[in-house]
Chains A and B, each alone.
Chain A
């Protein structure tokens, strides 16, 4: 069985509207960090929700480890794919530990009782997301960066093979942006498939194994940061001019530095 999360020709439109995702195909391998980039309204977050099984696609297929996502029951789906949302509708009056325990819902027995394995999974998730010291704190007391890590910890508690992360750094300062992407990279290196939607081209360039550029519901290109983050590819899609520089990462791979410079 191939261990990958695969979208093939996925099309989705909201009721009564034009397709937001239109024939998108993408593969996320285990052990890799893939960043989906693209202008506002390109369909990135909608595709991510479709991949998480939260939207039923109009056309195409989404397969996870050889099974159609749509064929999985809600709890089985939560054990396979974990979504880290950009934000929550409301911050519940819960401690971090209890909130992260929510990630174990798919693993609880039919009486919804948590056992020692669930408690161990929560402790492990808090440690892996570097928030173990926050376990007793209330969610509402945390800073933006801490809250983002706690959201990732809850997804880790789901013990899913794939993490789908929606704009995790949009309201964070540079230190926390680096912290969150380092964590995501760590998680990919530990064998999970990590797919991140982001507007930050430089973080994508620095951390991603692959970058997928989306425009008008479909992918313009998928490749390494060096292949995709070029003037020829980016400028027609974003309608802006960029300045480029580049450096080599520890693994000797070329990592472009991209600065938006002027409107076209």
Chain B
């Protein structure tokens, strides 16, 4: 399928999923018409609902977070797969996910618990801001550490980056486990830590959603300056340089944008894996391998995938639905295994 029809299809699908999602939540079911009216009322375009206006507003915020997180993670994965020339690359590789996890967990430990309780009781007003900011610092620090350690003479070595990423991820995982075991005594803190590790799209503040979308827009702005260049990377970095590509700049821009997008998404919504791995891969299979098509399409396909699975499981399971990080791992894990098995021959050839 060529890129334009796919973009139209994804836009229609996303619009449908979002409208349907306005009516479905873990508590009350609101009619689709009321959901849309409540959303329009937020923009001053309709009368607010008498009964469920607050509920719809919470759902709109949740959907904005879902769309932002899906787009940011899918874009991040597509950029990293392009620059590493490897379909198995994902945001977790450069330490962004574990760095954000470490930062958020430290903040939760210091604040002493963070979760819906604080949103409702407003006991710790700065809780979400502190946890998000700390996660962002953690993610950025890990991404900076991984890229700095794998840079020599101003050039990033991709194999070195993959190996340093594994080491930094292992260190972060160890520290995270230490924090979790310290916190076992305190039920609130433990629950908050686990809730964050499983990913969370509900109860996000407008500050968090604003931060997420700013990061997403800033990262997406690099697309016109790296898309064709990443296509030329396909035949090797030296070949791209001989064609006039400033490979150091493209690698730096791409890795910065991918890190920022993933770091902000993970900081706001917790650890949601595999979107960055699965979505770009599927988009490439359906349309062309050109990054000029894949990168913008991931901005639509990521939200369709995340919001779609959320809608399906909320409709089926209602209040007992799984957290998004869990669903994504359940879907993404087998998909990753499928990719590895499919690439078996190439892996053996290495």
Q: Which residues of A contact B (CB under 8 A)?
A: 15, 49, 52, 54, 73-79, 82-83, 85, 88-94, 102-103, 105-106, 108, 111-112, 154, 158
Q: Which residues of B sit under 8 angstroms from A76, Cβ to Cβ?
A: 244
B244–A112 touching, CB < 8 Å: no
| Interface residue? B85 (CB, 8 A) | yes
- The 8 Å CB contact of B85, one of A82, A90, A105, A158, is A90
Q: Are A90 and B235 CB-contacts (below 8 A) given A111-B224, A112-B228?
A: yes
21 sampled A-B residue pairs with Cβ under 8 A = A15-B153, A54-B238, A75-B244, A75-B246, A76-B244, A77-B244, A78-B242, A79-B244, A85-B236, A88-B235, A88-B236, A89-B238, A90-B85, A90-B234, A90-B235, A90-B236, A92-B234, A92-B235, A94-B234, A102-B243, A105-B228
Determine the chain A residues whose CB is within 8 A of the CB of B246 once the complex forms.
73-75
B47 within 8 A of A: no
Question: Is A112 a contact partner of B235 (Cβ separation < 8 A)?
Answer: no
Residue of A nearest to B85 (CB): A90
Q: Are B243 and A78 within 8 A (Cβ)?
A: yes
Q: Considering only CB atoms, which chain A residue lies closest to B289 in the complex?
A: A93
Q: What 15 new A-B contacts, CB under 8 Å, besides A89-B237, A105-B244?
A: A54-B242, A74-B245, A76-B244, A78-B242, A78-B244, A83-B242, A85-B242, A88-B235, A88-B236, A89-B238, A94-B289, A102-B232, A102-B235, A102-B243, A112-B228
Q: Interface digits, B57-84 against A, CB 8 Å rule (1 contact, 0 not)?
A: 0000000000000000000000000000
Distance of A79 from chain B, by nearest CB (Å): 7
Q: How far is the CB of B287 from chain A (nearest CB, A)?
A: 12
Q: Is B4 at the interface (CB under 8 A from chain A)?
A: no
A79 to B244, CA, bound (A): 8
- A75–B240 Cα distance when bound, in Å, is 11
Residues of chain A within 8 A of B243, CB atoms compared? 78, 102-103, 105-106, 154, 158
CA–CA, A49 and B242, complex, Å = 9
B241 contacts the other chain (CB 8 A)? yes
Kindly state whether residue B239 has any CB partner on chain A within 8 Å. yes
List of A residues within 8 angstroms of B228 by Cβ: 105, 108, 112
- Asked if residues B234 and A52 are in contact (CB atoms below 8 Å), the reply is no
